[in-house]
Amino acid sequence: MIYGIPTREKTIKQSDDRDAIEKKYEFKNFTDAFEWMSKVAVYADEKDHHPEWFNVYNRVDVLLSTHDAGGFSEKDVDLANKMDDLLET
């Protein structure tokens, strides 16, 4: 639970620096990381809610915050959950 909102994934954590949540992902290689990021990008664009992320080779660090709300919102949990779902596809 983050900010009183249930999350499925225990590896999602509250950011120390911002009113946001963050998670780190690690993949087998760059291609897998980029393929996953592309899937997330399509969903994020459909929802008009885009992650802040940083990619180096097989790692992707994600920070989620709802700028329109001035910080964390349920939209961030929705996107975090979808990101986890897309790991399976």
Measured distance CA(71)–CA(20) in Å, rounded: 6
What is residue 69's predicted lDDT score, i.e. its pLDDT?
66
- For the chain, give the mean pLDDT: 84
Question: Which one has a higher pLDDT value, 28 or 5?
Answer: 28
pLDDT at 13 over 70: yes
- Calculate mean pLDDT across residues 64-74: 77
According to CATH, what is the number of the domain 13-86?
A: 3.30.1360.20
What is residue 55's predicted lDDT score, i.e. its pLDDT?
97
What is residue 33's predicted lDDT score, i.e. its pLDDT?
96
Note the pLDDT tens digit of each residue in 34-48: 999 999 999 999 999
Measured distance CA(63)–CA(52) in Å, rounded: 5
Q: Structural domain boundaries of the chain?
A: 13-86
> What confidence tier does 4 reach under pLDDT thresholds 50, 70, 90?
low
Residues 15/21, Cβ–Cβ less than 8 Å = yes
Q: Which residues of 55-78 are buried (b: 16+ CB within 10 A; e: fewer)?
A: beeeebebbbbbeeeeebbebbbe
Measured distance CA(74)–CA(35) in Å, rounded: 25
